[in-house]
Amino acid sequence: MQNNQNFTKKSASNHTLFKSPCYQPILFLSQPKVLIVEDNQLIQYFMKTYFTKLGFQVDIAEDGLKAMDIFKSGYDLILLDIHMPNMNGIEVAKSIRLYEKTHLGNKNILISISTFDDLLIEKFKDVGFDDNYKKPALYDDLNGIIHKWIPHLIASKSQ
pLDDT of residue 1: 34
pLDDT of residue 101: 85
Query: What is the reported pTM?
Result: 0.75
pLDDT of residue 128: 84
User: 79-123 pLDDT, tens per residue?
Assistant: 988 888 889 888 999 999 888 888 866 677 878 877 766 666 677
CATH class as words, domain 32-157: alpha beta
In the chain, what are the domain boundaries?
32-157
pLDDT of residue 155: 64
Residues of the chain under the 50 pLDDT cut: 1-22
Q: Is the link from the previous residue into 136 a cis peptide, with omega within 30 of 0? A: yes
